[in-house]
Amino acid sequence: MMHLPLVLIGAGGHASVIVDACEKIGFLPEGYLAPNPSTHPIVARLQYLGNDNRLDDEDFRRGHDFIIGLGEMAMRARIADNLCRLNLAVRNVIH
């Protein structure tokens, strides 16, 4: 199975745990989506790719796999539902 470049959704504490886990397996996300650039030092090392509106760009969606780095369950579920509705690949990192 071919994997596309990975984009992290989120920029806070949970996202930093995801970045750390990805670093440990040698597969760093290409960048992240969040309302604003992250001030969290671990996430801020990644490229800020814009906010959730980037998911409206079909070329962007087709060129990436996604991982949700949000700790708040309701928001995580809303984003997951949206990604599934768009038939996008959502990847997992066990940490």
Global model pTM greater than 0.75? yes
Cβ(27)–Cβ(95) below 8 Å: no
Handedness of CA 74, 36, 28, 56 (dihedral sign): positive
Per residue in 85-95, pLDDT (tens digit) is 999 989 988 76
pLDDT at 27 (0 to 100): 86
Q: Which of 68, 44, 43, 46 lies closest to 55 in space, CA to CA?
A: 68
Separation between Cα atoms, residue 69 and residue 67, nearest integer Å: 6
Q: For position 65, what pLDDT does the model report? A: 94
